[in-house]
Amino acid sequence: MASGLGTLELAHQFIRAHVKAGDKCIDATCGRGRDTALLCELAGPEGKVLAFDIQPEAAEATRKLLAERGHANAEVILTSHARMGEYAEDGSVAAVMFNFGWLPGGSHDIYTLPESSLAALEQALRLLKHGGVVSMCIYYGRNNGYAERDALLEAVTKLDPENYTVLRTEFVNRAGEPPIAVFIIKE
């Protein structure tokens, strides 16, 4: 088990630096709601957070966490993030968070898949306003294999540098297959 700074923490630091009160944000994989709660806190009562997941267990866990923390500015939507484009206007979103893989404490057989993840990423980039950001935590190996990681990394590598700045961070001195964080800024 790696110690020290984690990928999730890196993503949270990046998001904290870019989201402000009143922003519209998306959690593309809400799981147990930790990222949704962060976005709700940063966007504040004047802002709005859309949170997607395909598992009822995740939607319920997220709603419960938000209620415990007193956040009323989120809508939890039980559908694939591949449909996020139906829920927001192009150019209106300040941040989209992706935390790929399976639900922590849930089934390891239900996880994000390359085709829907790529479709969601494409829509996320369209929904972003200028200066908006995407954070991605990519988990791979074990049940979900490598296809999603490879497809996502290939896609972000091909983004036009005139329109997007893309950063990739890796833990180079940790054993096993530590997650990869990718951060995108729309110019």
Ligand X SMILES: C[S@@+](CC[C@H](N)C(=O)[O-])C[C@H]1O[C@@H](n2cnc3c(N)ncnc32)[C@H](O)[C@@H]1O
Asked whether position 14 contacts ligand X by CB under 6 A, the answer is no
Asked whether position 58 contacts ligand X by CB under 6 A, the answer is yes
Q: Tokens 């004047």 map to which residue? A: 46
Asked whether position 32 contacts ligand X by CB under 6 A, the answer is yes
**Closer residue to ligand X, CB minimum distance, 124 or 128:** 124
DSSP state of 161: T
Angle at 175 between CA 172 and CA 180, to 5 degrees: 50
Q: Which stretch binds ligand X (CB under 6 A): 23-31, 86-94, 123-131, 142-150?
A: 23-31
SS3 177: coil
**Closer residue to ligand X, CB minimum distance, 94 or 138:** 138
Sheet holding 164-169, edge to edge: 74-78, 48-53, 24-27, 93-99, 128-138, 180-186, 164-169
**Closer residue to ligand X, CB minimum distance, 23 or 27:** 27
| Interface positions with ligand X (CB under 6 A) | 29-35, 52-55, 58, 80-82, 99, 101-104, 110-112, 116
